[in-house]
Amino acid sequence: MAEETIFSKIIRREIATELLYQDELVTAFRDIHPRAPTHILIVPNVLIPTVNDVEPQHEAALGRMFTVARKLAADAGISEKGYRLIMNCNSHGGQEVYHIHMHLVGGQPLGPMLAR
């Protein structure tokens, strides 16, 4: 069994965090250290530590992450100008929390995709 992270406690509402969205598959909340005016994390309710651990049975939750990203981007008023969806994997990807999550960032020009 993979070790739980703080995100499991947020999903189970054991830690006071404003949830922007929750259903049977995914949960979304604001990043505690926002890197842009809009910075939301969209998380599958099931613990999947990294993208390397993704299996076919996770496809419904992973697909839901995109439809929720679309909705939350619209709610934040950033759909037309655009935004970025980011998923980091392991150390070279800069992953800090080992419960996969999609970053939805926007609200300002985000610059080049990678630092040069």
Which residues belong to the active site? 101
State the number of binding residues for ligand 5GP (CB under 6 A): 13
| DSSP 8-state assignment for residue 91 | H
Q: Which of 18, 24, 55, 96 binds ligand 5GP (CB under 6 A)?
A: 96
Instruction: Tell whether residue 2 is a contact of ligand 5GP (CB under 6 A).
Output: no
By beta-carbon proximity to ligand 5GP, the closer residue of 4 and 31 is: 31
Specify burial of residue 55 (Cβ count, 10 A radius: 0-12, 13-18, 19+).
exposed
Instruction: Tell whether residue 31 is a contact of ligand 5GP (CB under 6 A).
Output: yes
Give ∠ CA 70-105-40 in degrees, rounded to 5. Answer: 75
By beta-carbon proximity to ligand 5GP, the closer residue of 64 and 103 is: 103
Instruction: Tell whether residue 50 is a contact of ligand 5GP (CB under 6 A).
Output: no
Instruction: Tell whether residue 83 is a contact of ligand 5GP (CB under 6 A).
Output: no
- Structure-token match 């990043």, residue found: 31
Specify burial of residue 7 (Cβ count, 10 A radius: 0-12, 13-18, 19+).
buried
- Structure-token match 């830690």, residue found: 15
* Nearest-angstrom CA–CA distance, 93 and 100: 12
By beta-carbon proximity to ligand 5GP, the closer residue of 80 and 96 is: 96
Residue ranges binding ligand 5GP (CB under 6 A): 6, 17, 29-33, 41, 88, 94-97
